[in-house]
Amino acid sequence: MVEPQTVKNILWLIPCLPLAGAVINGLLRRRLPARLIHIVGCASVFLAFLVSVSGFITLVRIEEPHNRLLIQSLYQWLLTVWDQGRFSLDVAFRLDPLSAALCLVVTGVGFLIHLYSVGYMAGDESQGRYFAYLNLFTFSMLLLVLADNLLLMFVGWEGVGLCSYLLIGFWFSDLEKAQAGMKAFIVNRVGDFGFFVGLMLLFWTLFEGSSGGITGLGFDQLTEAIPLLGSASPILGVGVATWIALLFFVGATGKSAQIPLYIWLPDAMAGPTPVSAFIHAATMVTAGVYMIVRLNFLYAIAPVAMTVVAVVGAVTAFYAATIALTQNDIKRVLAYSTISQLGYMFLAVGVAAFSTGIFHLVTHAFFKALLFLGAGSVIHAVHSNDMQEMGGLKKYMPYTYLTFMTAYLAISGIPPLSGFMSKDEILWATFNSHLSIPGLGKVLWALGLLGAGFTAFYMTRLVALTFMGNFQGGPEKEKHLHESPLVMTIPLMILAVLSAVGGAIGLPAVTHLPNLLHDFLSPVIGGHGSSGHEIHAYGLEVLLMVISTGVALTGIGLGYYFYLKRPELPGQIKARFAGMHRLLFNKYYVDEIYQALFLRPVLKLVSLSGRFDLQGIDGAVNLSSRITAKFSFLVGWEDLTIVDGAVNGLADIFKRWGAWIRQVQTGRIQHYLYSVVLGIFGLCVFMLLF
């Protein structure tokens, strides 16, 4: 058995192993053979996974749940001491149940995706760069998860944003993909700005409120200091805690692709598919959920912010699901599905069911990674993202088909698969929630339920168009269809098993079995969490389960009817509701609206200031330079003629005199003697006369 002390001292290995992998692959990417790059890339993450597992086991073995906390402080990052107090920040890693669970997901799913990438990226000439970025992302994500204070967490938060940008634009020679990367980065920056302002407001308020009593931004310190926020004077009539919680939530909407900042995620599908699975489905986009759960003590005293989170989550869950109904790009459907599922997570944390949010985060990481990897496998075979060019793939790609079906049933909410467990728990918690507006919980529940129905429908559509029926991509392509190599299908199988049984960590209360995840996370979430376990209304719970299962089955049934039984029906409906379809197909024109609202004014301003720069500033500069040139020409003329003239003239005079006088110097000795004699004679005459 590993001692807690030992694990505490090797915590730094979890983020730093992938960092080492990133450094090695980044620096030696042109020297190392592809095989070695793969080994470095995968092994670093796998070792981090092993360390995470040992950390997890150590935590579980600690008897008293409230002692399940290991903090390794590496070094003091920042220290300010003044007469009233001190403020210090450490680079410290914190392993508690929450971060342990996230570490397992990030390193575990991350390892599988690294492994899958070996097959998916085979033959690409810049694999070293790819694996270096992917390892760097793993490092940043683990830094975000393990950070013991908000500022270090922010470093990881920015790091994952950077890696996301790098990987979306991985094939940067394609302008569209490079632009997608930039779009993701800029939209994320908008959110990060909110996060940072929240961070500063938090620091400032605590700093003022406790007259220098705050000594750091560590989560333990914040847990103690946050109640002080209640006494701070409100800003614009809204409590400071609410402001801070809302600002952090702005950061979360950027990172986790919620309304109104979700627009980057569909475009992020330009990156390699394993990247979409890892960053834009399983890990990075859940950072916002993780952050809110981590700061649950802050959100607990900001009920208005909680309500906002819940509403935004539920609306996003529904809204993104409607867009996913009409998209034809397989990865885009999954992207909108991810936005929708993230909405469910926010709905969960918004109704204070923090552990349920994490539960859905974990199960979603399994089945959505699996869906993306399956889609990647399909794209690998078909060489197209368009579902209208697919079909009938189940007989060509049996492993991909079977694993994909598992994830499909999980996300659709078929019991007892993992997706059903977590989504149902969210809906149950929403139904029972006590939000600041009475009755809102029921509305959000209905919205979530409807979203779940749409989810089942669009996933059925996706499966039907991709795997069922006949191949639509033409006979030429059909000849080349093939199952992906084992290195790609083995991760699929492992994820399929996890998607199927992952729900076991959070069994519903009605089973009378312990909810493992909820109990495990309870020390972190404290008294704020609820997963509906406190409410012993088993009859109602079973009824809701039946309803949601019914809705899921209805979605599936409709999808089956529309796309397999009567494939001509969707076309007719499309024609009947052309306006509606166009609205959905064009994603509610949100990109265009943002274009008109934000981009165009900015571009106008840019061209205006550009013109001002060209004509105003450049004009002034050019004018002054022209004046200077004229003036210096004058000065130059003056210098040449007057000053130089005087000097040259003087020199000329001396030269002429010299030429005249030098005639005396004949070089003949007797001439000199003559002058000597004459001189003496003259001197004598002078002496005699005067």
Partner 1 sequence: MSYSLPSFLIVSSLLFCLGMFTVLTRRNAIGVLMGIELILNGAGLNFVAFSRFLEPTQTANLLSGQVFTLFIIAIAAAEVAVALAIVLVLYSQMKTIDVEDFKDLRG
Q: Which residues bind partner 1 (CB under 8 A)?
A: 662-670, 673-674, 677
Distance CA(495)–CA(531), nearest Å, equals 25
Residue whose C-alpha is closest to residue 452's, from 358, 361, 549, 532: 549
Q: How far is C-alpha 552 from the geometric centre of its chain's CA atoms?
A: 31
Distance CA(664)–CA(656), nearest Å, equals 14
In the complex with partner 1, the residue whose CB is nearer, 438 or 658, is 658
Cα angle at 472 between 467 and 475, to 5 degrees? 115
Could you give the residue ranges of the DSSP H alpha helices within 283-439? 287-294, 296-300, 303-324, 330-350, 354-382, 398-412, 418-431
Using alpha carbons, list the distances in angstroms from residue 386 to 177, 277, 339, 382, 467. Answer: 17, 18, 20, 9, 13
In the complex with partner 1, the residue whose CB is nearer, 211 or 663, is 663
DSSP assignment, residue 474? -
In the complex with partner 1, the residue whose CB is nearer, 66 or 668, is 668
In the complex with partner 1, the residue whose CB is nearer, 395 or 671, is 671
In the complex with partner 1, the residue whose CB is nearer, 607 or 675, is 675
Shortest distance in whole angstroms from residue 670 CB to partner 1: 6
Q: Are residues 525 and 293 in contact, defined by beta-carbon separation less than 8 angstroms?
A: yes
In the numeric block, which tokens belong to residue 39? Answer: 């080994």
In the complex with partner 1, the residue whose CB is nearer, 575 or 661, is 661
Shortest distance in whole angstroms from residue 656 CB to partner 1: 15
In the complex with partner 1, the residue whose CB is nearer, 175 or 669, is 669
Shortest distance in whole angstroms from residue 666 CB to partner 1: 6
Shortest distance in whole angstroms from residue 671 CB to partner 1: 9
Residue with tokens 């399909």: 378
Three-state DSSP state, 82: strand
Query: At residue 324, what is the residue type?
Result: A
In the complex with partner 1, the residue whose CB is nearer, 608 or 676, is 676
Burial class (CB in 10 A: 0-12, 13-18, 19+), 92: buried
In the numeric block, which tokens belong to residue 477? Answer: 């392509």
Shortest distance in whole angstroms from residue 662 CB to partner 1: 4
Q: Are residues 312 and 373 in contact, defined by beta-carbon separation less than 8 angstroms?
A: no
Residue with tokens 């020409």: 633
Cis before 303 (ω within 30) = no
Q: Are residues 265 and 305 in contact, defined by beta-carbon separation less than 8 angstroms?
A: no
Shortest distance in whole angstroms from residue 641 CB to partner 1: 33
In the complex with partner 1, the residue whose CB is nearer, 9 or 675, is 675
Shortest distance in whole angstroms from residue 649 CB to partner 1: 24
Shortest distance in whole angstroms from residue 647 CB to partner 1: 25
